[in-house]
Amino acid sequence: MVRNYGIPPGVPGHADDTSGNPRTAQEAIRIDMSQRRYDLDGLWKTYWSLLPKIRAKLSYIDYDHKDYDKSITDRNSSLTQFKNSVWESRLEMNHQRGGWLDGIFGLQWQNRNFAATGIETFTPATNIDSLGFFLTETLFITDRLNLEMGARIEHQTTTPKSDQIKLAGISAPLPLPNSLNYLTYSLAASLNYEILPQTSAYLNWQLAQRAPDVQELFASGPHFATRSYEIGRINLNAEQTSHYELGLRFASEQVSFHANGYYKSIQDFIYLENQGFFFNFAPDPPRFQQTCANLRNCLPVFGYQANTANFWGYEAEITAYPRWGLPVNPRLTLFSDYVRGWFQNSNFGDVPRLPPLRFGGEIGFQWLQWRGGVRYTHALEQNRPGILDTETPGYHRLDLDLTYDWKMSEHKKILFFARLSNMTNSTIRNSTSFLRNFAPEAGFSAQIGMSASF
């Protein structure tokens, strides 16, 4: 998989800017991504009734991500290059007990080498090695009631490949630990009850821990893909999430419906907080400063923080399949979703970069191998952007898609597609994006393409 797309430049500076620094010209950042993945999967169907299947999987993923300055012509030079190579293996053993218990237990190992290098070093090269044991069980209590349970315990070692890191704008290097070790666990349970035929309700609970990622620990420089200067925090603890969810499902030939509401509390929730000052990379040497007259030369500084945060929200969707006696099968959909997040300590305000309330509808159809639809989305303004972040206005969006599925044989097919995105050419500032003040979402665009599988 290969992708290449651009990040627009910052807000235009003063017309009398004559610094002559090559980085002060109106420039654009391009992002070049590529990914290669190889999987080896094996399944052994045994003769044991208690252990009928054993599955093993080995994967290798090589991910490369480069931030380019438009003025750099040498494709071997980049502002920042992210490399992420991962070896992963997984062993699953399915076990059954009569008709009332079904589950899987197994091991998962992952070895990941991460590096962010280039003209600006973003994080030190780091190795992350983890080994986890997991167990999932489904208990069929009655024909209408079942209980799903899961547990996982994992040990992770994060080892930077250098003993110090140089923070741009600070003369003295910062020492790094030899390694960081985390032992995390997760527990989950889901109770599913069939209220009526085609109608079921469920109650989910989860207590999960997550070890900090490399960027959250060791970030130390400009990240041009998000137009920010990020600073990690070495002493972060593992996040711990308590999640509660109640939902309802209904499915028939004419109507399908799904709605759920949830509440979660996260201890040591890790997030990027706007620090209220800038990193100016135009001077030599670069420096931090409280204000910036020319935003083309400056990046807002964000630091990783950890505080207890609470969230609640909902998701709902209903789809009707009317039978109007036409050769075309129509589809009518209404949907909505919302999430509200705030920090337990009110001094920290609202959780930044959350989506606003959204709702909309879709009119679609299916006829033979043809599928298509027109989708309308309305998002309200986000007036709880978080401390020092900016509010975003609401927007209306209209999209159209059309596909033709040509099945050449049982295992060979070609999918032709056409898409019209943001047909009203609305200005959309995405409240979840670091780039919302510099670059809105793409305006009207058209895509025509095909994909083949065999």
CATH number of the domain at 289, please: 2.40.170.20
Q: Please write the tens of the pLDDT for every residue from 289-300.
A: 999 888 888 899
Average pLDDT of the residues of the chain: 87
Considering the domain boundaries, does residue 316 fall inside one? no
Amino acid type, 437: N
Query: What pLDDT does 28 receive?
Result: 52
pLDDT over threshold 70, residue 121: no
Where residue 102 falls among pLDDT bands split at 50, 70, 90?
confident
Final residue before a domain boundary, out of 252, 287, 308? 308
- Work out whether the CA dihedral 272, 275, 276, 277 comes out positive or negative: negative
Residue 122 — left, alpha, or beta (φ > 0 → left; ψ -120 to 50 → alpha)? alpha
Q: Are residues 207 and 112 in the same domain?
A: yes
Q: Are residues 286 and 352 in the same domain?
A: no
**What 3-state DSSP class applies to 332?**
strand
φ, ψ of residue 150 to 5 degrees: the values are: -150, 150
Of 254, 395, 239, 228, the residue nearest 321 (C-alpha)? 254
Query: What pLDDT does 349 receive?
Result: 93
Q: Are residues 145 and 176 in the same domain?
A: yes
Query: What pLDDT does 154 receive?
Result: 98
Query: What pLDDT does 32 receive?
Result: 75
pLDDT over threshold 60, residue 15: no
Inter-residue contact 413 to 452 (CB < 8 Å) = yes
Q: Are residues 184 and 257 in the same domain?
A: yes
Query: What percentage of the chain reaches a pLDDT higher than 70?
Result: 88
Where residue 265 falls among pLDDT bands split at 50, 70, 90?
very high
Of 434, 429, 424, the residue nearest 389 (C-alpha)? 434
Considering the domain boundaries, does residue 85 fall inside one? yes
Query: What pLDDT does 168 receive?
Result: 63
Q: Please write the tens of the pLDDT for every residue from 395-442.
A: 999 999 999 999 888 788 899 999 999 999 999 999 999 988 888 899
Inter-residue contact 380 to 367 (CB < 8 Å) = no
- Work out whether the CA dihedral 378, 269, 272, 112 comes out positive or negative: negative
The rounded distance, in Å, linking the Cα atoms of 453 and 413 is: 6
Q: Are residues 71 and 212 in the same domain?
A: yes
Where residue 111 falls among pLDDT bands split at 50, 70, 90?
very high
Q: Are residues 374 and 331 in the same domain?
A: yes
Final residue before a domain boundary, out of 273, 308, 343? 308
Which of 229-233, 284-288, 422-426 is the least confident region?
Answer: 284-288
Q: Are residues 136 and 212 in the same domain?
A: yes
Considering the domain boundaries, does residue 314 fall inside one? no
Q: Quote the distance between the C-alpha of residue 216 and its chain's center.
A: 15
Considering the domain boundaries, does residue 271 fall inside one? yes
Query: What pLDDT does 75 receive?
Result: 47
Beta carbons within 10 angstroms of residue 158's beta carbon? 22
The pair of structure tokens assigned to 432 is: 């979840």
Inter-residue contact 202 to 147 (CB < 8 Å) = no
Domain total of the chain: 2
* Helices assigned H by DSSP within 52-207: none
Considering the domain boundaries, does residue 140 fall inside one? yes
Query: What pLDDT does 122 receive?
Result: 74
Q: Please write the tens of the pLDDT for every residue from 38-75.
A: 999 999 988 887 788 999 999 999 998 776 655 444 44
Final residue before a domain boundary, out of 308, 338, 359? 308
Q: Are residues 9 and 52 in the same domain?
A: yes
pLDDT over threshold 70, residue 113: yes
Cβ-Cβ contacts under 8 Å for 372 (sequence gap 6 or more): 364, 365, 400, 401, 402, 403
Considering the domain boundaries, does residue 313 fall inside one? no
Residue 254 — left, alpha, or beta (φ > 0 → left; ψ -120 to 50 → alpha)? alpha
Residue 348 — left, alpha, or beta (φ > 0 → left; ψ -120 to 50 → alpha)? alpha
The rounded distance, in Å, linking the Cα atoms of 23 and 105 is: 54
- Domain range spanning residue 362? 321-454
The rounded distance, in Å, linking the Cα atoms of 438 and 430 is: 11
Considering the domain boundaries, does residue 423 fall inside one? yes
Query: What pLDDT does 211 receive?
Result: 96
Q: Are residues 280 and 398 in the same domain?
A: no
Query: What pLDDT does 285 receive?
Result: 80
Considering the domain boundaries, does residue 147 fall inside one? yes
Cβ-Cβ contacts under 8 Å for 170 (sequence gap 6 or more): none
Where residue 118 falls among pLDDT bands split at 50, 70, 90?
low
Cβ-Cβ contacts under 8 Å for 118 (sequence gap 6 or more): 66, 67, 77, 78, 79, 80, 81
The rounded distance, in Å, linking the Cα atoms of 202 and 258 is: 11
Q: Are residues 291 and 378 in the same domain?
A: no
pLDDT over threshold 70, residue 112: yes
More confident residue, 346 or 115: 346
pLDDT over threshold 50, residue 3: yes
Q: Are residues 271 and 361 in the same domain?
A: no
pLDDT over threshold 90, residue 163: no
Query: What pLDDT does 162 receive?
Result: 87
Let me know the angle formed at the C-alpha of 426 by 420 and 428, rounded to the nearest 5 degrees: 105
Q: Please write the tens of the pLDDT for every residue from 335-381.
A: 999 999 999 999 999 999 999 999 999 999 999 999 999 999 999 99
Q: Are residues 347 and 246 in the same domain?
A: no
